[in-house]
Amino acid sequence: MEIWKPLERAVMPDGRPLVLSQSGERFIIRAGGQSLMESVAHGSEEALSRLGCEHARTRPAPVVLIGGLGMGYTLRAALDILPATARVVVSELMPAVVEWNRGPLAHLAGRPLDDPRVEIALGDVQAHIARSKGAFDAMLLDVDNGPSAMPRDPNVGLYGPRGLASAKRALRPGGTYALWSAGPDRHFVNRLRSAGFRASEHDIPIDAFHGKRSQTVFIGQLD
């Protein structure tokens, strides 16, 4: 039987406890008792960066927004892909998650927050996107389970027509919108197209993780 030892705690804006726990070499972050992320499976986060930065990496001084720091895997993969002239802005709602990535989680992704290309922007990623115009060459979002988020989820506005229009305004010409999701959603692909993106849905095979065999990355490309 696996025994998880709580290491750190914080409280989310909606009142739910956010808990970082460890079992051997494995780490897990739970919100309100539900698993948000584990350190054992992060291939889809790396795919999010690889697919999302495919165009940005070819630009002379790209600026990339990452929504959701998690355990640092998306950030690490983006830094490994992008040139030395890049700037990566990480929008993270919870200051505690940033602290944990500088502390007990730092080694997992090779201390990506130490990279001088990284800038932390604490706060709601939706608000950050809304106040940005033509600021980013790519936008990599991993803030919940994706477009199938429950109607009361605070991030649900990211996935509707207004949220996609806001994302489009925040991107530069030829920019890329990339979104991590727990699973496919053909309706969201249609929404991306309606918002003016060339849309694609990528099935990312993963090791058995809570019984799942794959996760999804959505890409919206601007001309």
Domains and CATH numbers, the chain: 40-221 (3.40.50.150)
pLDDT in tens, the chain (223 residues): 789 999 999 999 999 999 999 999 999 999 999 888 999 888 999 999 999 999 999 999 999 999 999 999 999 999 999 999 999 999 999 999 999 999 999 999 999 999 999 999 999 999 999 999 999 999 999 998 888 754 456 677 899 999 999 999 999 999 999 999 989 999 999 999 999 999 999 999 876 445 557 899 999 999 9
Q: Which residue blocks in 123-210 are alpha helix, DSSP H?
A: 125-130, 161-170, 186-194
- Tell me the one-letter amino acid at 143: V
